[in-house]
Amino acid sequence: MIDLHTHSIFSDGELIPTELARRAQVLGCRAIAITDHADHSNVDFIIPRIVKVCKMISSAFSIQAIPGIELTHVHPDHIFDISKEARKMGTALIVVHGETIVEPVIPGTNLAAVQSPIDILAHPGLVSEEVSKIASENSICFEISARKGHSLTNGHVLRYARKFNVNLVLNTDSHAPGDLVDKNMARKIAAGAGMTGEEIEEMFRNSESLVRKSSP
């Protein structure tokens, strides 16, 4: 199992990064990205600390910890620039908080995200054909979400990913210990969205590719 979207106490998660990684490891996760929520108010505070602790976790534990960030409720006009800023500060994996149907995300966030230097558009909700086409062209992954609420549109995301050949990854968006899942549950969530066995395996390979890309 690889989980590329999780939260620690650096935003609204319940666990410090080390415990988050350890609990994921016990569930069989071999790589985890710590992607706390950020905007212009805290991005410079969070990233250096996540980079530091991920290096420690990766060297001391049997799990690879990837320093990431989730740009959350950032105005669409600002997503490109803050993505570049986050990358310069050492973020290895950039997630954008997409237009989930259960939060008032600003319309246009999905489009701005796939036009920016990011890696994953998380829980993109009722994603459009235009966004899907651009995501495919820019090699940006869509997320199949294990999180309650965000997961309601997994089937729609899958349909558009198939139509436009967008790579998929499955993440938990964990905020608490009970949000983490093992690979067996991940398979069930993907199957529940309508994915075939072959698509599920390809999705896992996509996550592996992002881990390799994010490695120093």
**Which pLDDT score, from 0 to 100, does residue 202 have?**
98
In this structure, whether the domain defined by 2-214 belongs to CATH 3.20.20.140 is answered with: yes
With 80 as the cut, is the pLDDT of residue 216 above it? no
DSSP string, 109-153: HHHHHHTSS-SEEES--S--HHHHHHHHHTTPEEEEE-STTGGGG
Segment 14-54, tens digit of pLDDT: 999 999 999 999 999 999 999 999 999 999 999 999 999 99
**Which pLDDT score, from 0 to 100, does residue 215 have?**
83
- For the entire predicted model, the pTM comes to 0.97
**Strand ranges inside the chain, DSSP E:** 2-6, 31-34, 37-38, 64-71, 93-97, 120-122, 141-145, 168-171
Burial 24-40 (b: 16+ CB within 10 A, else e): bbebebebbbbbbbbee
Average pLDDT over residues 66-85: 98
